[in-house]
Amino acid sequence: MAAWLVWLIAGFILISAEVLSGDLWLLMIGLGALGGAAASALGGDLVISGIVFAIATIALVGGIRPMLKRKMLAGQDIKTNTQALIGARALTVTAVDEHKGQVKIGGEIWSARAHHPGDTIPEPGTPVVVVDISGATAIVAPEP
């Protein structure tokens, strides 16, 4: 079996195994093996393809992997679902008091109630801010 084919198979196996680990180590080593396969296919002997593999793997693990890990971890603070609505602007559809009301948040009508007991937002079309979400009810306060 040709050396480049061995490098190629090893590279694809390592890249495929990355799906199970998710830590980007095997991906970088697999890409280094693909570099070794390319060097071997271009006529390099085992020493040359081994050197290309080592240099590519060290460069990928030392340079690219940390950047990718930072990018992957940067997305951890993204709020989703109802947490993404907190702080959003809305418009009242009906009068909102401490017990009932309706607001329009991003094109959807939500049940709503006033944030402070005793507060009333009487005018439909009044801009409000979503302070919290309680079940399927938006807790809103008048926009400052």
Domain range list for the chain: 3-77, 81-142
Task: Report the distance separating Cα 100 and Cα 29, nearest Å.
Answer: 59
In our burial notation (b when 16+ CB lie closer than 10 A, e otherwise), range 64-99 reads ebeeeeeeeeeeeeeeeeeeebeeeebebbeebbee
Res 137: pLDDT: 93
What is the reported pLDDT for 75?
63
Distance CA 111, CA 103 (A): 7
Taking CA 39 as the corner, what is the angle to CA 36 and CA 43, rounded to the nearest 5 degrees? 135
- Taking the chain (144 residues) in runs of 10, the rounded mean pLDDT of each run is 90 92 90 95 92 96 91 72 88 93 94 91 92 93 88
**Token pair recorded at residue 15:** 């890249």
Q: Whole-angstrom distance between the N-terminal and C-terminal Cα of the chain?
A: 73
User: What local confidence, expressed as pLDDT, does residue 77 receive?
Assistant: 67
Q: What angle do CA 51, 52, 55 make, to 5 degrees?
A: 85
Domain 81-142 annotated CATH 2.40.50.140: yes
Nearest of 19, 52, 59, 61 to residue 33 by alpha carbon: 52
Which backbone phi and psi does 70 adopt, to 5 degrees? -60, -45
| This prediction's pTM | 0.52
